[in-house]
Amino acid sequence: MLRFMSTRLGFVLTLLSLYWLKTMWAYTVDFDLDIKGLYQVFLAIINPIPLGLLLIGLALYVKRTKLFYGLSIGIYLILFAWLVSNAIYYREFSDFVTVNTMLASSSVSAGLGEAALELFRPWDLVYIMDFPILIFLLYKKYIRLDERIFNTRASFAVTALSSMLFSANLFLAEIDRPELLTRGFSNYYVVRALGLPAFLGYSGNQTYSANKERSKASAEDLQPVEEYIASHHAKPNPEYYGIAKGRNVIYIHLESFQQFLIDYKLVSDGKEYEVTPFLNSLYHSNSTFAFPNVFNQVKAGKTSDAETMIETGLFGLNQGSFMVNYGGTNTQQAAPFILSQQGYQSSAVFHGNAGSFWNRNTTYKQWGYHYFFDSSYFTKQDETNSFQYGLNDKIMFKDSIKYLERMQQPFYAKFITVSNHYPYTTSLIGDEVGFPLADTKDETINGYFATANYLDAAVKSFFDYLKAAGLYDNSVIVLYGDHYGISNSRNPALAPLIDKNSETWSSYDNAMLQRIPYMVVVPGTDKGKIIPTYGGEIDMLPTLEHLLGIDSSKYLQVGQDLLSDEHQQIVAFRSSNYFVTPKYTSYSGRTYYTETGEEITLPDESTKAELDKIREAANTQLKMSDAIQTGDLLRFYTADGLGRVDASQFSYNHSMKALKKIEEERGEQSTSLYSKRGKQSSIDLFHSPTYKALHPEQFAPAPSSDNSSLDDANSSENSSSSNASP
């Protein structure tokens, strides 16, 4: 062994092996990579090798002996420093060091330096225990310096091998998570699949792309945007303006939920099963403003695009995710920050998945969220309570109560559900199984109704809690679907279930299925109704602002209040030239009459003029939003007097401790539910019975054959008696 280590190739492989061992230690002890399944384990095991070999192997091209050893050890030390700095950073921020982190704030690195001793753990000695051993072996010449020059062709072969290994690693990673690098789901995913050196390159490319667009923008670019906002603004409807002023705001994110599920009944074995009975009751309540013609406007960013729109009133990107590419760096004026300037005392997100997914743990700080309760704050996930996208909804809601009740009121809170997430076949187990599956050839479609029913029951349990705890009457609850659940490619298989024909399915039908529920529940009002206005997710923030009595006109938001008589009812999809209005639908290069679905193949001149006007309006809305987002124009905007969020004041670690501290400091002035209840917890008020408990009739044992025969005989006898003459 020592003889092999005394060769140049052997020394390189020794350093590579040490780096691999340290990386495995970090993956196991310091990082929570949410590794599930043998395939992801395999990816994590191999990913340090390709780039580790490529980088350390560069020293093999060096002919001079001392320079070879110096360079190889130097590269090894750089890899070591990158690994350890991420391990330390992760303990404080639950994320990895990005290029933006290094460039944007010297205070971060300074803070880490000051906190390094505090963050040090005894087991960190594992990271450095090889150094004295290597020094000893080299000093005692157990490892001798190899004076022989390593063959140039062999050096090239090592480089080629490492490149091939990385290509294979990337290919395997894309199998596990398609569009891993283009959609940017999570920093965790990149590290888990490709390793820390690759993540550094990925982060650098993101930073370069964002800064390239940002550097082109100037304050002068604001003028056309401000002119557009002023001309596009829809004045609030005085009948509804301010009817929810000062109330808590609670958003409930209905994952992958489409409008067609509302009032839908699934037929199975000749029986009808109402999929979402509770959401249906909300939809028809006179306390609810329900909008059946609101469409999702997401693209590759999907859920992150939906969040971007409801929080900022601006679109996601045409390519990739805004939250991933710009969320951690751009100046943003989102709902939590706006409401904090309107007397709102606290804001939080509750989500049973990893905090880094869609870069939430960074973006939420820029949006002004005080707290983010991710999976690390909830019940430990296992196969009985979660699936690949996080903790099941009923458990997430229940686990959230202990944090929600400590928040100072009025608060702004968002609950992100996950159980109704693709593939709809893995999230329900045990006593939650029971709602019938649809009968199609597509398992994804078959399971969609059961997971939607579970989500409905979870939301009902949360509403029941709000009422029992006394939060309901002083809150406004907003429920929205984020995007489609059944993709366009699967829609023909869905067609028979929604009384459509698979053979005549068209792009028009795909467009109509982009509808998502949008319901604003205002307890105590009787003005609620079903409102047919056409709109999209981009309109949700100004609608909410006006209900809260906040004038949206001074903010750079491109949506319009759905309750306003001035709403233009032009819904721009994220792809150019895709739109829908009450009269026309343009989708996938085809144009239809919205009411009938009839395709317009030869429009007359007046129709062409109408369509051109609508198309220009839709594309202009996207263009203005993109100018703000990619140019980071809000950094120049001062007209609203908001200023910018100081993200450094937010830490999402030890949030319960922070909540309790505020309660103690405010004493009798504390407005948290916990304080209002005389320091009595409300956790016991949350109840979430399983599907089996809610529907015992489905699980009642069938009568035995003997009993059936006896019942038949008795029935026959009774029938004979009743038919006999008196």
Which amino acid does the sequence have at 248? N
Q: Out of 276, 303, 329, 362, which one is annotated catalytic?
A: 303
Cβ-based burial of 635 (10 A; exposed 0-12, middle 13-18, buried ≥19):
middle
Residue 219 CA to residue 606 CA, distance in Å, equals: 39
Q: 351 forms bridges with which residues in the sheet?
A: 416
Q: Are 386 and 309 in contact (CB under 8 A)?
A: no
Q: Are 276 and 453 in contact (CB under 8 A)?
A: yes
Which amino acid does the sequence have at 137? L
Residue 399 CA to residue 404 CA, distance in Å, equals: 9
**Residue 353, Cβ neighbours under 10 Å: how many?**
23
Of 301, 282, 306, nearest to 292 by C-alpha is: 282
- 581: helix, coil or strand? coil
Of 152, 314, 301, nearest to 229 by C-alpha is: 314
Q: What is the DSSP string of 465-482?
A: HHHHHT-GGGEEEEEEE-
- Running DSSP on this structure, what letter comes out for residue 677? T
Of 462, 353, 456, 416, nearest to 682 by C-alpha is: 462
Torsion of CA 50, 53, 58, 63, to 10 degrees: -150
Distances in Å between the Cα of 165 and the Cα atoms of 38, 399, 701 are 19, 43, 58
Laid out side by side, the sheet with 411-416 consists of 371-373, 346-351, 411-416, 248-254, 475-481, 518-521, 288-290, 529-530
303 classed as catalytic? yes
Residue 634 CA to residue 337 CA, distance in Å, equals: 14
Report the length, in residues, of the chain.
Answer: 726
Cβ-based burial of 614 (10 A; exposed 0-12, middle 13-18, buried ≥19):
buried
Of 517, 394, 413, 396, nearest to 457 by C-alpha is: 394
Q: How many CA atoms lie within 13 A of 67 on its CB side?
A: 8
Question: Which are the catalytic amino acids?
Answer: 303
